[in-house]
Chain A
Amino acid sequence: MTTVVEPPKLGAPDRAIGRGGGTSGWLVVAGQECRDLWKSGRGPLLVFCFSVLMSGITYLASTNQALNFLERREAANLLLQFAVAVGVLLTLIVSADGISGERERGTLESLLVTPVSRRAIIFGKLFAALSLWFAASLVSVPYVWVLARGMGILARALILGLVVGTIVAVGLGSIGLLISAACNSNKTSLAASAFLLLILFAPTQLPSGLPQGWFFDVLVRANPVDAALSYLSTQLLQGGPWTEDLSYLISPLLTAVLAGGGLILFGPRLIRLRAGGVE
């Protein structure tokens, strides 16, 4: 049965509120996402675990002379690599929960019906995920100081760690959000992100005595995490200018640009709801 549709009466009530005057949508979302992350206890717990690991590594590297075969410079490099790797890992974990978690908790639809664009929602979530990386880098400052002080590499280590880590965190955070938007369940999203982490981090754990050659070099440079850590390592251990071996940063930068661009372009289309009821 169809009903004859009357034309709308002119002068229908215009009740839209809040045009302008308030904060940008993405900033509101980012602010709330950060509050949710840090007030819910998830952020503090992850940073606490991170700081426990950092404490352990720093303690072993600086005090246990019998077991510690590393020079202090090497120890500082190891710690910085660990800080960047784990800090970025935390970003990926949080972003992997960004969309699929909301979908599963039933809070996504109420966000989607607000005037804030899907792109702004994604951007706000990425910002919140990155806040965990920035917190991790802040927490790592005293640990790096303990091992790098007095060698003239402290400032260099902290700045390089922050810059390179941020590039990798933007790339992996964007990938995490893309995975989260594409996956129907939070478990799938977290599992897929964990698998990605395994692929990216496994090569960084290989012993350095493995055969080296052009193929191995390509593998290192193609892996954004491995390449970023290699750049840090080169910079701290060899002490050349920061422009040296910049080619290591191609894959981290490409990942950040491509994943970030993909998130901006395709993220909004990937955000979808589950069918209502049994539909």
Chain B
Amino acid sequence: MADITVEAVHLTKKYRERTAIEDVSFTARSNDVVGLLGPNGAGKTTTIRILTTVLTPTSGDFRIAGRSPKAPGEIRRRVGVLPESSGYPGFQTGLEHLSYHARLYGLSSSSARDVADSLLTDVGLADRARSRISGYSRGMRQRLGIARALVNDPAVVFLDEPNLGLDPAGQSQILKIVRHVAQERGATVILSTHALSEVEEVCSQVLILNQGRLVASGSMGDVMRTAVVERSAQLRVPSHLIEPARMAIEKLPELTIEATDGRPDLLKIGLRTASATSSDESAQRLNAAVIAVAAANVPVLSYEMEGARLSDAFLQMTKKAVR
């Protein structure tokens, strides 16, 4: 099993009466991409700032690559950070910017330049290395920010909203780099984001924070199982065959058919006793509808399970904050 690189134990941060995070504990290993989720104000940025030694926790402890926060410099040598809404000096070139940051880690000028050159190539900015950052697009700046977070070959990389404001192509590029960092460099990536689809795409672990507390942690499957989300399904069949399909489903005593918002080709299927069953069991029972419709010789044009996505679990776990 891979090494533990992040170990947070009962972390709490309070600002006078306000509690930013409370009793947050988790571990992460090398090669993991950990999605750090939560609504605005949940404590994601505070958690990252504590783990990168920018903030001191009110109580609790943590280790980064086995190093204690009592020696913050030792931790900072082993982490890379892309802060939320990170700024860049527009008059510097990408190469100058990365070289400067590499030198802050104690590299000589020539080594820093080599590292900068190599990272700019890795993030696809080699051809713009000598252009001023003011001429970079937002996506290019974010890629430069990730490269900056890698100048010290960190064991743990914290990315706070790296895809904020990027178009789909830019987002896809960033996710590709995130995967590369975890798989090829063997680093742990802590990815704070609001984009749940990104998390589903790249993350092996998920942490969900709500009002400063960790409400779920573990693999995607673990989190989905933890969240008791009511499952339902949408089944689309040719509109002239909607009645045979409805009759086939009505024969199944555990399922109900709900209103279809006036769509003649769509059936909304629910469970009669949803709360009494596990999410896996609910999915199996809903799947019986597809089998029944197919058995009635009605072609199934599409079948979509609702309540089975990370976003459903997220909304269910953070509903107090959403209200």
Contact = CB atoms under 8 A, between A and B. Distances in A.
B147 to A, nearest CB: 12
B104 A114 contact: yes
A150 interface: no
Interface in B3-59: 3-5, 7-10, 20, 23, 25-27, 30, 40-41, 43-46, 48-49, 52-54
A112 B54 contact: yes
B105 A115 contact: yes
B105 A17 contact: yes
Nearest to B218: A3
Interface stretch (B83-91, B246-254, B293-301): B83-91
B86 A107 contact: yes
Contact of A18 (B40, B45, B52, B106): B106
Contacts of B101: 110, 114
A277 B48 CA distance: 12
B98 to A, nearest CB: 11
Contacts of A106: 83, 85-87
A40 B154 CA distance: 31
Contacts of B25: 2-3, 5
Nearest to A25: B104
B77 interface: yes
Q: Which of B41, B65, B102, B103 has most chain A Cβ within 10 Å?
A: B103
B7 A5 contact: yes
Nearest to B88: A107
Nearest to B84: A276
A19 B88 CA distance: 26
A244 interface: no
Interface stretch (B165-173, B209-217, B229-237, B274-282): B209-217
A36 B69 CA distance: 32
A13 interface: yes
Chain B binding site: helix, strand, loop or mixed by DSSP? mixed
Interface in B88-119: 88-89, 91-92, 100-108, 111-112
A110 B215 contact: no
A109 B7 CA distance: 22
B4 A8 contact: yes
Given A1-B217, A22-B103, A277-B44, A15 B89 contact: no
A36 B40 CA distance: 34
A21 interface: yes
Interface residues of A, number: 47
Contact of B77 (A18, A22, A32): A18
B143 interface: no
Contacts of B48: 276
A107 B83 CA distance: 9
B152 to A, nearest CB: 5
Contact of A110 (B77, B83, B92, B217): B83
A23 interface: yes
Contact of B83 (A12, A18, A109, A275): A109
A66 interface: no
B243 interface: no
Interface in A241-278: 273, 275-278
Contact of A15 (B65, B100, B214, B218): B65
A18 B103 CA distance: 8
A28 B4 CA distance: 33
Contacts of B100: 28, 32
B186 interface: yes
A16 B75 CA distance: 9
A20 B100 CA distance: 16
B265 interface: no
Contacts of B92: 36
Given A3-B214, A273-B54, A276-B45, A15 B78 contact: yes
A29 interface: yes
Given A8-B7, A278-B40, A16 B152 contact: yes
A18 B226 CA distance: 43
Contacts of A14: 65, 78
B153 interface: yes
A277 B89 contact: no
B9 A5 contact: yes
B214 A2 contact: yes
Nearest to B99: A32
Interface in A17-48: 17-23, 25, 28-29, 32, 36, 39-41
B120 interface: no
B104 A16 contact: no
Interface in A114-169: 114-117
B87 A115 contact: no
B40 A15 contact: no
**Which 8 A-B residue pairs are closest in the complex by CB-CB distance?**
A276-B45, A106-B87, A18-B106, A16-B77, A22-B106, A12-B66, A109-B83, A18-B105
23 contacts: A1-B215, A1-B217, A2-B214, A5-B27, A8-B63, A12-B65, A13-B155, A14-B65, A15-B155, A17-B106, A18-B105, A18-B107, A22-B107, A22-B108, A22-B111, A25-B106, A36-B91, A107-B89, A109-B54, A110-B148, A113-B52, A117-B73, A279-B45
Interface of A: 1-3, 5-6, 8-23, 25, 28-29, 32, 36, 39-41, 105-107, 109-117, 273, 275-279
